[in-house]
Structure 1
């Protein structure tokens, strides 16, 4: 086998292993909403109809809280012990959490503990995997491989929806809810075991001074020790050294200094907006949302399954045709406006034509389902993928790592806020839930219009300059002078050209 073919095989094998983490993330996000609708789950954990809202809120929200903790805890572990060990540890932690979840203890607190442990594994792996992917991928296909993680996330959601739909027709025994929950262990175990076949991150090894191991790892993943690979290795060493100098003496309080605080607030705002579009809530509580549109019944799991398939198609369209062809701002603004229209129209239709509740799907129900499908298409062509590159682009090297960490942390924070509060919102205001998200989408449009700057097709240096203020220190007016008939100098004050000294703040 030629070295180029072997190199392609190895890098795509690495992507397959890491994308198991994307499938795991998506599957875990989508499976719980359907499980919470099963009567067998309610019977085994002994809670009634009056407790549904509380259980749904805690079961989903508590895992996002664990993920929030996990995404920060994993940073020192990954920096000290390496990316490979960290990902395997996250896999093991997640598997332990799944085991605790599927044990039929008849005690919700025990189930919640399993959810928290799973959250730690999810939060940690979702942070380290993109780093490891970018550090090992050839620059020519780095963007494509990174996009595959997002695509696999949507596929994981799709798989979970259809598994929930399939087991709905099983007998109402513990197996009905244990099977979809237990299947989470498959992608988690495949990811952990697959990491045993891969090498440690070249960049991390260089950072730690293990140059021989770093060279061995690079030669393995490139399947070559050619001059081209030697040049890449030298550039990587220089890049690590440059980053080391850039980070020298860094203190967290620098994030509070303007314009760093401007960048940090912008990253915070992008992920707050992403989680406030309503699409995260739809992903977790799809069956419950469709119940507001067409009434209760098994058809809600079917509609949720179709919803998941549409997410995958939209994400694939973004990766193949849209990701680098349009600016960030136009897509974000268009997405917000379109989602606002879908949500507000849905709320108006549901308010005027409530579902009959007898299993009949009316034309109003069909229309509102179509609007939610259009809404999720708009999300996956804009707010789903774009906050990630936007956030990574706005930070200079000196504060990129803590800045991006803050952004990712805010993503998990607001993921938790909406996943925990949505069941109460739906229970309290019903159709008004759609109106709430529609109004928020309008505010999100305003946020982009007034606060977000275009970063597409700009170098990191050009982006950095956009955030650095231009200060005019002083203006010196030097009057022009001419000699009169007697040789005396004459000043022309009005016609004198001012000399302006302009400096860029550094």
Structure 2
């Protein structure tokens, strides 16, 4: 089941994450480059507003691109959605490259590229969750987060290299990193041509024969393989049952009693991802490094590049070592506490020991704050960076997954937009209190995780209904930070490996479930 076709399919889809990461990463450093500020008429009076607009127009496009793609992909599939997303993105990228002095053209180009980025950010985690075997769904979902961080890191170092190596007299310092957006855009289009359509989408669309063929291709298994047949039958059963319960409705199913709890949890999770403060650092890392004591554009861009490396390395470590072992709840809970601590320390040190404006080198207090920025970075990269995208792509019913994921990702972009507008003004007006604010948000996030977020690692997509049957808040018996606990007929079921073998937990008796779990374990031996 785990083979090169599966991993190549996942890697191709993850180009959407590379697109996302590069486009959101490079602009925050590009606007700090002197030639960019000169070419677009930026000065002390309009600096904060123009930076906010350039960053925020992308998010506005992403929000609408996510919503549009939910309806497009429900009708035409995941592959064509990726192809359209890449084409739209590249149109916007070309507009950004050809303009040299007109901010309005730049804004339009950013907004159009945002449509493509938003569409890709909704499609990639959806597609990965649908093609991934349940035992490594967390790893493949984390791979999407890694691809975002990798794109951000590459963009930071390209900005740094162009600022140091190209002449400030022309336009190349910012045009080169802006033009390189076209590379992941083109790669995503080429990849979309060759990957297989999602078997779950094909079954939902009534094309079950092709769905079975695609599943066989991706799994490199024979159609009669027992494990493949079990997976195929589970998907078909789940979709048929969802159709029976919903009586043919689609998007309105989001608001049925059995679904709206998950919709609300997904919404809240993506809001809190933005309130963690990560995009304050992603978009404005050079500005923030200058604020805490790194003077000079080159120094702040270099520190930003190191920030990108740290993010990428630790997200890779999480992907390889902890994605399935740690699950979802534990990384989110520990990550929120760690991020809160780092942000509060930065705020307190910045208030008590602010850096001197003309210091030749960073003070010990500034070095301490920089270390805390990297602590935040490590914590986020192994928790709130990759996990929310995996979580919102796996908890919803098959029939409405694209609509629910789109709502969650659109929420992320909407609050991303708000944060990108607020941060430069907050740094200018309330200074150190900005970090304290994010520290308080992260403490609240930890409480939310403990009482609301269920462990989904290893649970089949078709069994999520049972996991969320207790309402918005979990029962005390579900507070375990590691194992998934399924609720069936009022009984708490906590049997390792259960979720891999039970087809319909909600209607099963505990003795039957134990018997199935034991027989499944024996057969595997």
> What is the TM-score with the length of structure 2 in the denominator?
0.81
Q: Distance in 2 between matches of 1:13 and 1:251?
A: 32
The answer to whether the 8 A contact 1:34-1:287 is kept is: yes
Q: Distance in 2 between matches of 1:47 and 1:317?
A: 40
Structure 1 residues 45 and 429: alpha-carbon distance in aligned structure 2, compared to 1, 3 A threshold: same
Once the two structures are TM-superposed, the CA of residue 337 in structure 1 deviates from its matched residue by: 2.4
- Is 1:278 the equivalent of 2:277? yes
Name whichever of 434-443 and 448-457 sits farther off.
Answer: 448-457
TM-score after normalising by structure 1: 0.84
Runs of 5+ in structure 2 lacking a partner?
Answer: 475-488, 492-505, 508-525
Match of 1:474 in 2: none
Matched residue SS, 2:469: helix
- Give the equivalent residue in structure 2 for 1:97: 92
Bigger shift: 295-304 or 242-251?
A: 242-251
Q: Distance in 2 between matches of 1:365 and 1:38?
A: 23
In 1, the alpha carbon distance for the partners of 2:230 and 2:258 equals 35
1:49, distance to aligned residue in structure 2 (A): 2.2
CA distance in structure 1 between the partners assigned to 2:241 and 2:425 by the alignment: 50
Q: Tell me what 1:337 maps to.
A: 337
Matched, 1:171 2:167: yes
User: Which residue of 204, 207, 210 corresponds with 2:207?
Assistant: 210
Over 3 Å counting, the alpha-carbon distance change for 1:8 and 1:175 in structure 2 is: same
User: Residues 180 and 339 from structure 1, CA distance in 2 versus in 1: closer, same or farther, beyond 3 angstroms?
Assistant: same
Segment drifting more, 223-232 vs 166-175: 223-232
Query: Is 1:84 aligned to 2:88, yes or no?
Result: no
Q: Report the Cα distance in structure 2 between the residues aligned to 1:135 and 1:448, rounded to whole angstroms.
A: 25
The reply to whether residue 265 of structure 1 matches residue 264 of structure 2 is: yes
Using the alignment, how far apart are the partners of 1:222 and 1:307 within structure 2?
37
Paired residues of 1:393 and 1:463 also in contact (CA < 8 A): no
Tell me the CA shift for residue 122 of structure 1. Answer: 0.6
Tell me the SS of whatever aligns to 1:324.
Answer: coil
Aligned mates of 2:8, 2:411 — CA distance in 1: 31
**Retained in 2: the 8 A contact 1:343–1:375?**
yes
Unaligned runs of 5+ in 1: 471-501
Q: Deviations over 1:355-374 (max 9, x none)?
A: 22334211111111001100
Relative to structure 1, the CA distance from residue 26 to residue 322 in structure 2 (aligned partners, 3 Å threshold; closer, same or farther) is same
CA contact (8 A) 1:259 1:468 kept: no
Which residue number in structure 1 is paired with residue 193 of structure 2?
A: 196
Deviation at 1:133, TM superposition (A): 2.7
Aligned-partner Cα distance in 2 for 1:436–1:102: 37
Work out the CA distance in 2 between the residues paired with 1:456 and 1:219. 24
Distance 1:195 1:393, change over 3 A: closer
The residue number in structure 2 matching 1:383 is 384
Residues 22, 151 of structure 2: 8 Å contact kept: yes
Q: 1:274 to 1:106 in 2, by over 3 A?
A: same
- C-alpha separation between the residues in 2 aligned to 1:337 and 1:41? 38
CA deviation string 1:10-64 (max 9, x = no partner): 3332222212211111111110011000111112112322211011111111111
> Which moved further from structure 2: 406-415 or 242-251?
242-251
Specify the alignment match of 2:471 in structure 1.
467
Cα separation, partners in 2 of 1:468 and 1:442, compared to 1, 3 Å: closer
Q: Are the equivalent residues in 2 in contact too, given 1:295–1:356 (CA < 8 A)?
A: no
Q: How does 1:387-466 map to 2 (within 5 A)?
A: 387-392=388-393, 395=396, 401-452=402-453, 460-466=464-470
Q: How many residues are paired up? A: 470
Checking the alignment, whether the CA contact within 8 Å between 1:246 and 1:397 is kept in structure 2 is no
Equivalent position of 1:10 in the other structure:
5
Alignment RMSD, CA only? 3.0
Pair member with larger Rg: 1
Residue in 1 that maps onto 2:523 = none
